Amino acid sequence: MTNSPIQKPNRWVGVPLVLTAGVFWSTSGLVYRLIEAATPWQVLFYRSAALSLALFLLLSIRYRSRMIRALMSCGQSAVIGGLCLATAFTGYLLALEHTSVANAMFILAVAPFSTALLGWLILKERVANYTWGCLIIAAIGLAIMSGKELSLGRGLGELFALLPALGFSGLTISLRIRQGTDLLLTIFIASSFATLFAVTGITMTGSGIILEARDLILSSGMGLFQLGLGFLLYTAGSSHLPAVELTLLSLTEIIVGPILVWIWVGEAPTRSSLMGGGLILGSIVMMALLGSVRTKDRN
pLDDT digits (tens, 9 = 90+) for 277-294: 899 889 888 887 887 666
8 Å CB contact between 173 and 121: no
Nearest to 249 by CA among 237, 266, 258, 261: 237
What is the model's pLDDT at position 5?
46
Domain ranges for the chain: 13-298
pLDDT digits (tens, 9 = 90+) for 45-104: 999 999 999 999 999 998 888 888 888 888 888 899 999 999 999 999 999 999 889 989
SS3 117: helix
pLDDT digits (tens, 9 = 90+) for 124-170: 888 888 888 988 998 898 888 877 666 555 678 888 999 999 998 89
pLDDT digits (tens, 9 = 90+) for 59-72: 999 888 888 888 88
Amino acid at 168: F
47 sits in the region (left: phi over 0; alpha: psi -120 to 50; else beta) called: alpha
